[in-house]
């Protein structure tokens, strides 16, 4: 099975790309969805509340982001706790895809290059978009301040660097029809490259 890591900038359309790939019948797993699922476990919520020094009832994506994007030590402590759990869940899903006979599966992981995980994949894909389009998408889907947007963008490797590091690049600056065509072409290009 070809194991493909999909990354890119915030608001560039990683989730839309993997949704198209899933529609085409490929196995897809998302790091963000795994983290969301982990937060449904009481033991995880309890541990995260201790790490971040916030009440369990206050655990939410927004509250966690406010704490960790303003405190690098707490961000590191949270990652040190969560990342092994995410890796374990990811491996389970990858094994399920292999047992199901999938020829190719995709893992959406925002921090693929930031965490130097490219060696975990057979191929990597970066999804990008024009910066004006990217910022417009971020502003439309989130209630973040301009400072919060800047914090999140600066916490990631610049898109141009990710593009250079990736085996394949999808420019998602256009409409959904163009993106779907690009996803179909991506699959063919990956198959041709192995």
Q: What is the mean pLDDT of the chain?
A: 94
Domain of residue 99, residue span = 2-193
Helix (H) or strand (E) holding 177: helix 176-193
pLDDT value of position 151: 84
User: Taken in order 81, 86, 89, 90, is the CA torsion positive or negative?
Assistant: negative
**What percentage of the chain has pLDDT greater than the value 90?**
81
H-state helical runs in 29-143: 31-38, 42-52, 61-68, 72-99, 131-141
pLDDT band at 114 (very low <50, low <70, confident <90, very high): very high
pLDDT band at 81 (very low <50, low <70, confident <90, very high): very high
Whether the model pTM is above 0.75: yes
pLDDT value of position 74: 94
pLDDT value of position 27: 97
Q: Which 3 state secondary structure label does DSSP give 4?
A: strand
> What is the rounded distance in angstroms from the CA atom of residue 100 to the CA atom of residue 84?
25
Task: Dump pLDDT digits (tens) for 127-173.
Answer: 999 999 999 999 998 888 888 888 888 888 999 999 999 999 999 99
> Stretch 178-183: mean pLDDT, rounded?
96
State the CATH number of the domain containing residue 50.
3.40.50.300
- Please state, in angstroms and as integers, the Cα–Cα distance from residue 39 to each residue in 14, 43, 48, 104, following that order: 22, 9, 9, 28
Question: Angle at CA 150, nearest 5°, toward 147 and 152?
Answer: 110
55: left (phi over 0), alpha (psi -120 to 50) or beta: beta
> What is the rounded distance in angstroms from the CA atom of residue 89 to the CA atom of residue 51?
21
Instruction: Determine the straight-line distance between the first and last CA of the chain, rounded to whole angstroms.
Output: 11
Question: Angle at CA 22, nearest 5°, toward 21 and 24?
Answer: 65
Q: In total, how many domains does the chain have?
A: 1
pLDDT band at 32 (very low <50, low <70, confident <90, very high): very high
């Amino acid at each position: 099975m070809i194991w493909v890591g999909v990354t890119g900038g915030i608001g560039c359309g990683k989730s839309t790309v993997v949704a198209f790939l899933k529609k085409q019948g490929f196995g897809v797993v998302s790091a963000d969805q795994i983290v969301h699922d982990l937060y449904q476990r009481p033991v995880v919520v309890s541990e995260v509340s201790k790490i971040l020094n916030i009440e369990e009832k206050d655990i939410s994506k927004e509250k966690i982001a406010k704490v960790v994007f303003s405190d690098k030590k707490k961000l590191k402590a949270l990652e040190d706790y969560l990342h092994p759990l995410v890796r374990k869940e990811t491996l389970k899903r990858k094994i399920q895809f292999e047992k199901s006979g999938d020829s190719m599966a995709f893992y959406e992981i925002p921090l693929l290059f930031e965490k130097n995980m490219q060696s975990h994949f057979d191929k990597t894909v970066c999804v990008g978009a024009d910066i004006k389009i990217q910022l417009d998408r971020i502003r439309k889907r989130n209630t973040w301040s301009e400072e919060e947007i800047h914090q999140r963008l600066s916490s990631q490797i610049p898109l141009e660097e990710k593009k250079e590091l990736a085996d394949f690049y999808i420019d998602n600056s256009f409409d959904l029809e163009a993106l779907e065509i690009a996803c179909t072409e991506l699959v063919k290009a990956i198959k041709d490259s192995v």
